Structure 1
Amino acid sequence: MSTPLAVVRRVRHSNTWIFGTMLFSACLSLLASFVLSVDAIRLAEDPDTALSCNINSVISCGTVALSWQAQLFGFPNAFLGLVAEPVVITLAVAALGGVRFPRWFMCAAQTVYTLGVIFAYWLFYQAMFHIGALCPWCLLVTVSTTLVFATLTHVNIRDGNLPLPARMRPALKSAIEADLDAVAVTIWLLALALLVLTRYGTQLFA
């Protein structure tokens, strides 16, 4: 008879849970990208537009959106999310339907999404330490892209899709099977929350 813990672990390692989590996270990121894109268009029309998430000097979407970092490639960064997240959503839905993608495709997806996560955290760093303001929708993108990255990495390590050294593969698979990836992601997100609180403290609620 399976114990409750064994059932939970079995569910967590199932494709339904993994790709369901990926789908949910990508949908959140797409929603945030859509809102940020609309706000970017509004600000382009009128830079003095008061956005609903302009709460105080720290929680201010407008301050972040008007920075040069928010348009690094000459257009609002949120437009990238409108292009990238539907691809992730399609991948997740297809996988939930039983489609098994070739190794090269999953490896390419891992590479592209890794670049996306790096970019998301670069923006987070810029907002935290250079812009001096935070955007709730941007923070949602940071968290959701982290979760998509974690689930994609989980699948690719489990299925052996990544071109890793032979000696690393058993160790990484064992770590995945022991749920160390879930522990790592939880600690990481809690550390981010603590960093924000430590950096801005009561200013967040002023």
Structure 2
Amino acid sequence: MFKFFAQWFSKQDKRQKIAEISLLTGAGVGLLASFILSIETLVLAKTPNTVLGCDLNAVISCSSVAQHWSASLLGFPNAFIGLMALPVMVTIGVALLAGTKFPRWFMVAAQIGVSIGFIFALWMFYMSFVEIGMLCPWCLTLDVGMLLIFGGMTRYNILTGVITGKKVKKFVQNDYDIVLLMIIITLAVVMILAKFGDQLL
């Protein structure tokens, strides 16, 4: 088993494999979160006063976030967007791991789509953290998934020359992008703890 993975990694740049795994993992995690959020949205539509399993206290409440106007920005639940878009990301991740080489225009389009999704996830985090003042565990899970997707896609496109530039390529080759990703996650955790603190328990 370990020999198989060692041979598999040796066939390609390990940095590129990390990018592909990050993309696929993020897409899988995000799809799971979107699926659960979609079910919860349908439950709330049927019985608005239902207490969901992730309604733990005054701070951690999926239903409060789901009933805010920002949870249906396009007129339907945001989670449905994930159900439509994330299977595509899963497919791309699996294909890249299998050695598929997509045309440059396709990867550029994928990068644009992923970037828009990442910006949307950041906006949703802002709305939850600042405007609503409550946290949805599955929304946060989806945010982490989008961060992994964006990081993986960007890393892959830089390493394969879809995104050009000596500085950005050196940045990724030194694995500084992974450090940046860890900093973003750590910063988000610190912000949540600083604002809500003991209310989380």
Q: Same fold (TM over 0.5)?
A: yes
| Deviation, structure 1 residue 14 | 3.8
Which residue matches 2:30? 29
| Residues 191-202 of structure 1 aligned to structure 2 (within 5 Å) | 191-202=187-198
Task: Compute the displacement of 1:97 (Å).
Answer: 1.3
Work out whether 1:187 is the aligned partner of 2:183: yes
Give the percent of matched residue pairs that are identical in Structure 1 and Structure 2: 42
Amino acid at match of 1:23: L
Deviation at 1:95, TM superposition (A): 1.0
8 Å Cα contact 2:16-2:159 kept in structure 1: no
Q: CA deviation at 1:24?
A: 1.6
Q: Matches of 2:131 and 2:14 in 1, distance apart?
A: 38
Amino acid at match of 1:179: D
1:11–1:195: structure 2 CA closer, same or farther, 3 Å change rule?
farther
**Conserved 8 A contact 2:171-2:177:** yes
State the partner residue of 1:176.
172
- Equivalent in the alignment of 2:142: 141
State the Cα distance separating 1:12 from its structure 2 match.
4.3
Q: 1:1-23 CA distances to partner (integer Å, 9 max, x unpaired)?
A: xxxxxx9xx974142x3212211
Which aligned segments of 4 or more residues in structure 1 are displaced greater than 2 angstroms? Answer: none
Q: CA separation in 2, counterparts of 1:61 and 1:139?
A: 10
The alignment covers a number of residue pairs equal to 191
How many angstroms apart in 2 are the aligned matches of 1:18 and 1:157?
10
- For structure 1, the 5+ residue unaligned runs are 1-6
Q: Give the alignment's TM-score, normalised by structure 1.
A: 0.89
User: Normalising by the residue count of structure 2, what TM-score does the alignment of the two structures yield?
Assistant: 0.92
Task: Measure, in 1, the Cα distance between the counterparts of 2:19 and 2:74.
Answer: 32
Give, in whole Å, the separation in 1 of the partners of 2:93 and 2:176: 22
What residue identity is the alignment partner of 1:184?
L
Kept in 1: contact 2:65–2:132 (CA 8 A)? yes
Aligned to 1:45: 46
**Aligned pairs (5 A) from 1:120-139:** 120-139=121-140
Instruction: Provide the rounded CA distance (Å) in 2 between the counterparts of 1:79 and 1:39.
Output: 12
Deviation at residue 89 of structure 1 after TM alignment: 0.5
Matched with 1:13 is 15
Query: Equivalents in 1 of 2:155, 2:38: separation in Å?
Result: 30
Q: Map 1:147-158; keep pairs closer than 5 Å.
A: 147-158=148-159
